[in-house]
């Protein structure tokens, strides 16, 4: 799986709940729930009672049904487990982990980068397995899971509770929300129904069904610990935090309420060890419903975008801006020609309201903007030099990396498909600016097997910056520079991979 989804925080880490190998625990895990006995009340003072009258113990009054009984989990699990599936993925051994069998994600971030940038030693064609969970949302076979569960997959196999194994087709995925939609060819399948995640409250009972460590249809329970959590790599998701036991393999599985409705999709855990430590995160069902409907209709997700770089304020910054408390999103930069730029937003502005909703933090703003229809004009309330102003902004379209790339729709027209076995597409201005590439850089979209580029270790997603120390500004420019280079000498190609630059020699002979 692509490791960008792992949220590292040394020595703790927020991890995707997906194992990196197909190994299954040999021993079963036993869960014992110890129920404390009800304490009897203190004995009444009987000093004034006649000596012949024995003291009578007062029995405790019956507790209300809501607190005296545990949730009816047995029946709820029976009703919903058939709709939960186990997902097995087979992919390219070199796609995400250059050292198959090693869990690079448990390493510090700098070590991950080192190993991921090693030259490829494993021949292509070798396969690696991973697994996760999912759940059926329609009788005709639509299944929800996490994007990180199926990323890089060549084949996706879904195992039902009745042991049937079906090959799944990827309908669409959305990396920003970590939601993917699959489809299997079947009918009359059991279905898990979506509930209303907006109605959740802290302390509410919830339970999960999934395949931790490959142990199919394992059920765990807990409560909602917090709502609308923002994580570093989950900008567009207001996560549900729970203390439900979630481990590698639970990713993509459902989180249920006590009505038996899906209120979330289990996605990540916070851990020092890589295993469950009492904090897990789920994607709210209301967001999942919106994402899956778009994926089913168009195969991709449309989001709004402002084009600003923002940060949170601390108390010192708030004081410097004349604010009593740190709130809102401080604008650090404005992208030229973006929606924010056209509306007149400036660096140093503090966005305190969007579309008549208060903006409480920098992580809050993307959630509001992302859910706004593209092209809609909305009021943007800002604080500039201590004075409140309201601007009118027309929301731009956010272009996801999962969106189809039109420049490579026709492989015959893609640059260098014949020469080096590559298909490439241009980078956007935002992508070049973010990577500090100036005007150079093209993205590798396809690599033909056994081609010169493939043998040199070029991968999909690499960004080609220069060829023989000459900047590459477009697919056409790349093709020209390759054709002009001496055919009997290897090309010195500078690429960007995982935020690190390195040279690769590509021989055409």
pLDDT, tens digit, for every residue of 210-243? 888 888 888 999 999 998 887 766 567 888 999 9
Phi-psi region of 110 (alpha: psi -120 to 50; beta: other; left: phi over 0): alpha
The predicted structure's pLDDT at residue 464 = 93
Residues 17, 94 contacting (CB under 8 angstroms): no
Domains of the chain, residue spans? 1-22+69-297, 303-398, 406-506
How many Å apart are CA 411 and CA 417, to the nearest integer?
7
pLDDT at 246: 86
Cα separations in angstroms, 114 against 136, 233, 501: 39, 21, 12
Q: What are phi and psi of 251, to 5 degrees?
A: -55, 130
Q: Look up residue 194 and give its DSSP letter.
A: B
Q: Is 178 one of the catalytic residues?
A: yes
pLDDT of res. 184: 92
Among 175, 197, 218, 251, which one carries the catalytic annotation?
251
pLDDT class for 378, splitting at 50, 70, 90? very high
pLDDT in tens, 396-455: 887 665 555 444 334 333 444 457 888 888 888 778 888 888 888 999 988 887 788 888
* pLDDT tens-place string over residues 143-156: 999 999 988 888 89
Active-site annotation holder among 178, 257, 349, 396: 178
251 belongs to the catalytic site: yes
Residue range 13-42: mean pLDDT, rounded: 39
| pLDDT value, residue 191 | 94
> Of 246, 191, 201, which is closest to residue 221 (Cα–Cα)?
246
Domain 1-22+69-297 falls under CATH 2.40.10.120 = yes
- Which residues does 83 contact at the CB level (< 8 Å), separation at least 6? 135, 136, 189, 190, 191, 192, 254
Put simply, whether the predicted model's pTM sits higher than 0.75 gets the answer no
Rounded Cα distance between 159 and 167, Å, is 9
Given this model, what pLDDT does residue 394 score? 92
Given CATH 3.30.2270.10, say whether it is the number of domain 406-506: no
Is 207 buried (19+), middle (13-18) or exposed (0-12) by CB count in 10 A?
Answer: buried
Nearest by Cα to 251 from 202, 213, 295, 285:
213
pLDDT higher than 50, residue 34: no
Give 207's strand partners.
Answer: 221, 256
Classify residue 185 by its DSSP letter: S
- Compute the distance between CA of residue 16 and CA of residue 339 in angstroms, rounded to an integer: 33
pLDDT digit string (tens) for 253-268?
A: 999 999 999 999 998 8
pLDDT of amino acid 304:
84
- Per annotation, catalytic residue among 5, 92, 130, 148: 148
Q: Is 86 an active-site residue?
A: no
User: Token digits for 452?
Assistant: 């010169």
Name 38's Cβ contacts closer than 8 Å, sequence gap at least 6. 60, 63
- Token pair in block for residue 281: 């995160």
Bridge-based pairing state of the strands 179-184 and 254-256: unpaired
| CA 421 remoteness from chain centre | 31
Contact 250, 210 (CB under 8 A): yes
pLDDT at 341 over 70: yes
Q: Tell me: pLDDT of 487 over 60.
A: yes
Taking 80 as the threshold, does the pLDDT of residue 272 lie above it? no
Mean pLDDT over the full length of the chain: 76
Q: What is the pLDDT of residue 490?
A: 85
Q: Tokens in use for 7?
A: 């949220």
Q: How many CA atoms lie within 13 A of 46 on its CB side?
A: 13
Q: What is the pLDDT of residue 232?
A: 61
Mean pLDDT of 9-19: 48
Instruction: Report the pLDDT averaged over residues 312-334.
Output: 86
CATH of domain 303-398: 2.30.42.10
| Mean pLDDT to the nearest integer, 163-170 | 91
Radius of gyration, CA atoms only, the chain: 27
pLDDT at 414: 40
Asked if the domains at 303-398 and 406-506 fall in one CATH topology, the answer is yes
CB atoms within 10 A of CB 336: 9
Phi-psi group of 26: left, alpha or beta (phi > 0 → left; psi -120 to 50 → alpha; rest → beta)? alpha
Please give the average per-residue pLDDT across 191-199, as a whole number: 92
């Amino acid at each position: 799986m692509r490791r960008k989804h792992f949220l590292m925080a040394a020595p703790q880490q927020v991890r995707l709940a997906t194992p990196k190998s197909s190994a299954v625990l040999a021993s079963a895990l036993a869960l014992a729930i110890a129920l404390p006995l009800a304490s009897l009340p203190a004995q009444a003072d009987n000093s004034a009672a006649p000596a012949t009258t024995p003291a009578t113990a007062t029995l405790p009054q019956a507790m209300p049904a809501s607190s005296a009984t545990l949730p009816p989990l047995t029946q709820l699990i029976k009703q919903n487990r058939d709709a939960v599936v186990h997902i097995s993925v087979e992919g390219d051994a070199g796609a995400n982990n250059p050292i198959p069998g090693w869990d690079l994600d448990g390493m510090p971030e700098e070590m991950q980068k080192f190993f991921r940038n090693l030259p490829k030693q494993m021949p292509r064609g070798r396969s690696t397995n991973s697994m996760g969970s999912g759940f059926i949302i329609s009788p005709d076979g639509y299944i929800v899971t996490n994007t990180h569960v199926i990323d890089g997959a060549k084949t996706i196999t879904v195992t039902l509770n009745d042991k049937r194994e079906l090959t799944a087709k990827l309908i669409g995925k959305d990396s920003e929300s970590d939601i993917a939609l699959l489809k299997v060819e079947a009918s009359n399948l059991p279905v898990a129904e979506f509930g209303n995640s907006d109605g959740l409250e802290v302390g509410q009972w919830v339970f999960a069904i999934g395949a931790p460590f490959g142990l199919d249809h394992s059920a765990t329970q807990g409560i909602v610990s917090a709502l609308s959590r923002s994580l570093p790599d989950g900008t567009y998701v207001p996560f549900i935090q729970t203390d439900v036991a979630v481990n590698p393999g639970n990713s993509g599985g459902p989180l249920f309420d006590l009505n038996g409705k899906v209120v979330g999709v289990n996605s990540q855990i916070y851990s020092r060890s890589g295993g469950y430590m009492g904090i897990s995160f789920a994607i709210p069902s209301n967001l999942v419903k919106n994402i899956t409907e778009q994926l089913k209709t168009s195969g991709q997700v449309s989001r709004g975008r402002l084009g600003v770089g923002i940060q949170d304020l601390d108390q010192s910054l708030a004081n410097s801006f004349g604010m009593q408390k740190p709130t809102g999103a401080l604008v650090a930069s404005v992208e030229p020609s973006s929606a924010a730029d056209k509306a007149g937003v400036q660096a140093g502005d503090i966005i305190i309201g969007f579309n008549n909703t208060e903006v409480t933090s920098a992580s809050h703003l993307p959630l509001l903007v992302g859910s706004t229809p593209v092209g809609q004009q909305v009021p943007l309330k800002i604080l500039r030099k201590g004075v409140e102003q309201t601007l009118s902004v027309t929301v731009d379209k956010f272009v996801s990396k999962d969106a189809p790339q039109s420049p490579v729709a026709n492989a015959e027209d893609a640059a260098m498909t014949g020469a080096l076995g590559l298909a490439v597409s241009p980078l956007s201005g935002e992508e070049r600016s973010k990577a500090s590439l100036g005007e150079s850089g093209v993205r590798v979209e396809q690599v033909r097997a056994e081609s010169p580029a493939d043998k040199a270790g070029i991968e999909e997603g690499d960004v080609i910056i220069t060829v023989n120390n000459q900047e590459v500004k477009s697919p056409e420019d790349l093709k020209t520079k390759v054709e002009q280079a001496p055919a009997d000498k290897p090309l010195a190609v500078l690429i960007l991979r995982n935020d690190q630059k390195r040279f690769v020699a590509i021989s055409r002979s």
